[in-house]
Amino acid sequence: MEIRCSRSILLILTFTLLAIAVMGYHPGFEDDGVYLAAVKKDVNPALYPHDSEFFQLQLQATVFDKAVAAFIRTTGMSVAAAELLIQAASILLIIAACRAIARRLFASKTAQWAGVAMVAAMLTLPVAGSALNMADQHLHPRNIATGFILAAVSRVLARRTWQVIPLLTAAFLFHPIMATLGISFCFFLTLAMLGGLRIRARNEARSPAAAVPLAWVFTSPTPEWRKALGTRTYYLLFKWTWYEWLGALGPLILFWLLWRFARRRGDVMLARFSLGVVCYGVFQQVVAIVINATPALERLIPLQPMRFLHLVYFFLMLVAGCLIGDYALKARAWRWAVYLLVINAGMFASQRALVSSTEHLELPGRQSANPWLQAFAWIRQNTPATAYFAVDPYYLAAPGEDYHSFRALAERSQLADWIKDPAVVTQVPVLGPAWDRQVSALSGWDSFQLVDFKRLKSEFGVDWALVANPEPAGLQCPWHNKRVSVCRIP
C-alpha cells in the first residue's frame, strides 16, 4: 500500500511538471496584468500612485492578492519566486483532484492515469468562445479556485459531503464567479448521486438561485461602460460564431451519449456523473441565454455566464483520456509513448506559436530576449516609483509584445489601454469616465509628436513615455533597444 501511494504521488508530481513544461510560464501575461500588479501593490504600497484603481477595485471581491502578499511577507521570498511556487502548487492541486475524480469513475489504473495525462497536456485548451483556457500560464485565482472545485467534486463522488463545503468556500474566497459555478455543479452532481435528478430538477427549476446564487452590487450602465462592453464580443453570446456554439453544445451532447452508454453498460457511477454534467450544462446554458436576451439583466453580462463550460471541458478531457486508456492504450508501452507524444507535442507547439517572441518558461532571474520585456526591466530598475507613463493604448497587441502587461512587469503607472483595461471597466463601471478620457487622449498615438506628449503631461501629469524606436524629436530618451525607447517628457 505504501509503495502504491508513493508511486501515485510520484506520478502526480511528474504530470504536474509535464503540464507546466507544456503550457509554459508567463508572469505578467494577459490577465496577470491585473493580478500581479495588485500583489506588487500590496507588497510595496509606494508603487502605482496614479492608476491602481484599474486593478485594485476589481480584486476587492477576492482574497487572492492579499493572501499571496501575506505569503511573500511571511516567507521572505521574492514576488517572482512566490508566484512561481504557488502556480506550481495550483497545477499540482488540479492534477491531484483530477486523479481523485478518475479513481471514482474508472476502476482501471490505466484509464485513470490516461485521463490525468490528457488533462495535464490540455490545460491551455481554449474553452469554446469564452476567452478562457482550462488553466492559465501564470498565477491566476481561477487556477487556485479550479483546484478546490475539482477536489470538491471528488468528495461528492466519494459521498463525503461534509468535506465539500470547506473546499467550495476556499474556492469562493479566491474566485467568487468560478466558485458559484462549482457550487452549481456540485448541487446537480449531488442530486445525480442520489438517483433522483430528473424529478428534483423540475422542482428546483422554480428557484434557480439555489443552484446559482447571484450576489452582485448593481451599478447603472453608462455610455462608457457600454463602450467598454463593445470591445468584449466574447461576453455577448449572440455574437458567437457557429463553431463557438459547437464548442459549447458539443460537449453536452457527448456527455448525454456517454450517460446512455454507461447506463446500458451498468456503470452507475459514470452514468450519474455524466447526467450531472448534462443537467448542469443545460441549466447554465439557459441562464446564459436569459441574461444575454434580457435588457434588464445586461449588467450581469460581464459575469460571463458561459464560463460554466470551463468545468465541462475539464470533465470532457478527463473522461476522454480515461476512455482512451480503457479501450486503446491498455498496458502497451508503445501506445502510451505515442499517446503522450501526440497530446503534449501538439499543445506545446500551439503555445510556442501563441507566445512566439518570448521564452517558453519565464523563470525568476532569467533575462528575457524580448525587446519589450527588456524595456520593462530597465524601467523597473531605473525610473522612480512615482513615474507616470504614456504608452501606446494598443501596445499589448504589438508585434513581438506577446500580451505582457506594462503595469505588472515595469511596476509603473500608465495611462489606460484599449486591450485589457476595458475588461476591468465592464466589471467596475465607475472607472468608465476615467478610462474613456485617457484612451481618447491617446488617439492617434502612432503620429504623436513632442507637442502631443506635452499635452498629455499637462492634462494627466505623465512624465515618461514608452515609444517606438526611433523616438519622436524633442523627447529625452536615456535608453532604447531595436524596438522601443524609454523617454522623459520635457
Give the pLDDT confidence score for residue 66 in this predicted structure: 95
Return the higher-pLDDT residue of 468 and 207.
468
Residue 361 lies in a domain: no
Q: What is the per-residue pLDDT across 348-396, written as a single tens digit (0 to 9) for each? A: 999 999 999 999 999 998 899 999 999 999 999 999 999 999 999 999 9
The overall average pLDDT reported for the chain is 89
Look at residue 4 in the predicted model and tell me its pLDDT.
67
Residues 222 and 428: their CA atoms lie apart, in Å, by 11
d(CA 435, CA 226): 12
Q: pLDDT class for 219, splitting at 50, 70, 90? A: low
Residue corresponding to grid cell 456517454: 258
Q: Are strands 464-468 and 388-391 parallel, antiparallel or unpaired?
A: parallel
Q: Based on the domain organization, do 329 and 427 belong to the same domain?
A: no
255 has a pLDDT exceeding 70: yes
Q: For residue 465, is pLDDT > 80?
A: yes
Same domain (yes/no): 23, 158: yes
Question: What's the number of domains the chain is made of?
Answer: 2
Report the Cα–Cα distance between both ends of the chain, in Å, rounded: 72
Return the residue matching grid coordinates 468584449: 232
Give CA–CA dist 309/302, Å, rounded: 16
Query: 3-class DSSP state for residue 133?
Result: strand
Q: What pLDDT does 3 receive? A: 64
pTM of the entire predicted model:
0.90
243 with 164: CB under 8 angstroms? no
Residues 6+ apart with CB under 8 A from 450: 472, 473, 474, 475, 490
Residue 233 pLDDT grade (very low, low, confident, very high; cuts 50, 70, 90): confident
Nearest-angstrom CA–CA distance, 462 and 230 = 28
Amino acid at 333: A
pLDDT of residue 332: 84
Q: Does the pLDDT at position 297 exceed 70?
A: yes
C-alpha cell at 258: 456517454
Q: Are the beta carbons of 484 and 371 closer than 8 angstroms?
A: yes
One domain for residues 309 and 411: no
Q: Which of residues 407 and 232 earns the better pLDDT score?
A: 407
pLDDT, average across residues 117-124: 97
pLDDT of residue 199: 39
Q: pLDDT tens digit string along 29-57?
A: 998 999 999 999 999 999 999 988 888 88
Q: What are the E-state strand segments in 239-325?
A: none
Query: What's the pLDDT tens digit per position in 168-181?
Result: 999 999 999 999 99
Q: In this structure, what are the phi and psi dihedrals at residue 485, rounded to the nearest 5 degrees?
A: -125, 145
CA distance 416 to 437: 9
Backbone torsions φ then ψ of 371, nearest 5 degrees? -60, -35
Query: Does residue 149 sit in the same domain as residue 283?
Result: yes
CA distance 271 to 198: 13
335 assigned to some structural domain: yes
Res 298 pLDDT > 50: yes
My answer on whether 322 and 380 are in the same domain is: no
Per-position b or e across 33-67, b if 16+ CB within 10 A of its CB: bbbbbbbbbbbeeebbebbbebbbebbebbebbeb
Give Cα separations from 316 to 15, 259, 472 (angstroms): 18, 13, 53
- d(C-alpha 152, C-alpha 161), whole Å: 9
Least Cα distance to 216 among 303, 290, 145 occurs for: 303
Q: What is the pLDDT, as a whole number, of residue 198? A: 54
Residues 380 and 297 in one domain: no
pLDDT > 70? residue 1: no
Can you tell me whether residue 424 is helix, strand or coil? helix
User: Is there a single domain that holds both residue 337 and residue 407?
Assistant: no
Cell of 354: 501563441
Does residue 366 belong to any structural domain of this protein?
no
Residue 111 in grid coordinates: 484509464
Shared domain check, 95 and 6: yes
Q: How far is CA 311 from CA 39, 143, 145, in A?
A: 27, 12, 11
pLDDT at 303 exceeding the cut of 80: no
Residue 63 lies in a domain: yes
Beta strands in 283-412 (DSSP E): 388-391
Contacts of 415 (CB under 8 A, 6+ apart): 51, 388, 389, 390, 391, 393, 438, 439, 441, 442, 456, 460, 462
276 and 306 both lie in a single domain: yes
Give the span between the Cα atoms of 423 and 209, in whole angstroms: 26
Q: Are 436 and 319 members of one domain?
A: no
Q: Which of 151, 157, 191 is nearest to 169 (CA)?
A: 151
Asked if residue 362 is part of any domain, the answer here is no
pLDDT 10s digits, 5-21:
788 899 999 999 999 99
Q: How confident is the model at residue 399 (pLDDT cuts 50, 70, 90)?
A: very high
Mean pLDDT of all residues in 217-244: 72
Among 12-21, 200-209, 287-296, the range with the most confident prediction by mean pLDDT is 12-21
Given a cut of 50, whether residue 203 has pLDDT beyond it is: no
> Is position 359 within any domain?
no
Same domain, 172 and 72: yes
What pLDDT does residue 55 have? 86
The pair phi, psi for residue 129, each rounded to 5°, is -100, 20
Asked if the structure places residue 360 within a domain, the reply is no
How far from 204 is each of 150, 184, 188, 281, CA to CA, in Å? 24, 12, 10, 15
Q: pLDDT class for 97, splitting at 50, 70, 90?
A: very high
Please state, in angstroms and rounded to a whole number, the distance separating the CA atoms of residues 38 and 53: 10
Is the model's pLDDT at 202 over the cut of 60?
Answer: no
User: Percentage of the chain surpassing pLDDT 70?
Assistant: 93
Q: If we measure between CA atoms, which residue out of 434, 441, 340 comes closest to residue 391? A: 441
Give the residue-averaged pLDDT of 265-274.
Answer: 93
Work out the number of other CB atoms within 10 angstroms of the CB of residue 490.
11
Domain that includes residue 196, residue range:
2-354
Residue 316 in domain: yes
Alpha-carbon distance values, 352 to 357, 358, 359 (Å) = 9, 9, 9
pLDDT given at position 209: 35
Which of 354, 383, 414 is the last residue in one of the domains?
354
Place of cell 503631461: 457
**Tens of pLDDT, residues 304-352:** 888 999 999 999 999 999 999 999 987 788 999 999 999 999 999 999 9
Instruction: Check whether residue 318 and residue 279 sit in a common domain.
Output: yes
Residue that finishes a domain, picked among 287, 322, 354: 354
The residue whose grid cell reads 511556487 is 85
pLDDT of residue 215: 34
Tell me the per-residue pLDDT of 409-430, one tens digit each, with 9 for 90 and over. Answer: 999 999 999 999 888 888 888 8
Contact 96, 173 (CB under 8 A): no
